[in-house]
Structure 1
């Protein structure tokens, strides 16, 4: 039996009862939890508490969840799970474009939220194993034209200049770069990057791919690196 997952979780929601409910479920799962109820406190707490996962409400008073996420992304690569009470795709996509990794729409099952958090923590554990030199791709640097994806250091360089990617962005790019002859579907990428039991919206892949393209200066209409095969999935290009 694998050891229980451990990790630090920061829960930010101005609904105090809901925040306490989430905290209780996460603590029962054996996780260390801190709670804040406003945006300014959330940004400060990320710096002080250094969470592995930030569970962040979108509709905070003052500084909302999107602005919190934007500020957090300037100094932390923690996983961000966004909570939204508005069943509006625009809100979700905007939140993800600011650097969130996933979202849950209220009302939600606390058990589902815990499962999403645990899936994120498993990804973090897999990365620590990879950095020790036991990765499935051997930890080699993968070269596509003038793009270099270094699995061992988890760094990306384009034309010799570093490219700053979030954890999920790096993992998606690595999956594509490590399988240059394959077209990978959204479902395959979800299973490789998120979790085999993940049940969220597979279109999250499109949002993250869009962010990677922007950082690489790669146009979807005439891509050098990430090619879309409509209705099928994505594959890595030659970089030319």
Structure 2
């Protein structure tokens, strides 16, 4: 059974949402304040955290930043206005997806299932990459294990969110191919991209580059898109 953590100060939201998720073998626990939510998160393992943007004590963005510093649990942000900047900021801080309020529980479930498919199993210790495997992409200073969803920069594991990993794999599977922003967003989200949200791709690339430093294997073609430029060993 998957365990979900909802942090939302709307006390009327948790009960019907929990009842809905039970039908799909998911247990939902709820907290109405960030401090209570963080305590639950630190006390037990969760498969996803669902955060409202408008919260007491600290807003959802600050809470997302705090969680991301401590955990790589998948995060879905709830934005009351569906504001584009809310969504972009949430992605920039490490959220895996966003959903405007009001929302249908089935859509939230679908978003979570998509995040889980992208993320694979998280929180497991890094295992050595096998010496020879068709499911391993190898470049100078970088190894990408597709089955373990593990990335090594030199000998060091790189902690990526599910979306960051999928972006890296997308680019690395076809080195030197230029991917347009809309194409990247469509491939990652599995649906047609909206021009308003293509900035999210720039944010994801920026985060990924920082985690891969000092490697410089993602190139920008100004006004066009991105390409992977890692050399083969």
Task: Please state if 1:177 is matched with 2:172.
Answer: yes
Contact 1:119 1:198 in 2 (8 A): no
**Counterpart for residue 228 of structure 2:** 236
Shift of 1:198: 8.1
Deviation digits for residues 118-169 of structure 1, max 9, x if unmatched?
Answer: 22233345899xx9x9xxx8331421x3333343543334354443322221
Q: Which runs of 5+ in 1 are unaligned?
A: 1-5
SS in 2 for 1:93: helix
Query: Residues 204-233 of structure 1: CA distance to partner in whole angstroms, max 9, x if unpaired?
Result: 333211211222347xxxx93112345554
Residue 25 of structure 2 is aligned to residue 12 of structure 1: no
Matched residue SS, 2:49: strand
1:205 match:
201
In 2 relative to 1, CA 228–161 (structure 1 residues): closer, same or farther, beyond 3 Å? same
Aligned to 2:217, which of 215, 222, 225? 225
Q: Deviations over 1:6-48 (max 9, x none)?
A: 5221111101112333323322333221111110111121223
Please say if residues 11 and 23 of structure 1, whose CA atoms lie closer than 8 Å, have aligned partners that are also in contact.
Answer: no
1:76–1:187: structure 2 CA closer, same or farther, 3 Å change rule? Answer: same
Is 1:110 the counterpart of 2:105 in the alignment? yes
User: Over aligned residue pairs, what C-alpha RMSD do you find?
Assistant: 3.3
**CA distance in 1 between partners of 2:165 and 2:114 (Å):** 17
Matches of 1:202 and 1:114, distance apart in 2: 21
Contact 1:39 1:60 in 2 (8 A): yes
Gaps of 5+ in 2: none
Residues 239, 37 of structure 1: alpha-carbon distance in 2 compared, 3 angstrom cutoff: farther
Q: Evaluate the alpha carbon distance shift between residue 199 and residue 89 of structure 1 in structure 2; reply closer, same or farther with a 3 A threshold.
A: closer
Distance 1:10 1:172, change over 3 A: same
TM, length-normalised to structure 2: 0.78
Aligned in 2, Cα 1:88/1:163: closer, same or farther, shift over 3 Å?
same
Describe the SS at the equivalent of 2:102: coil
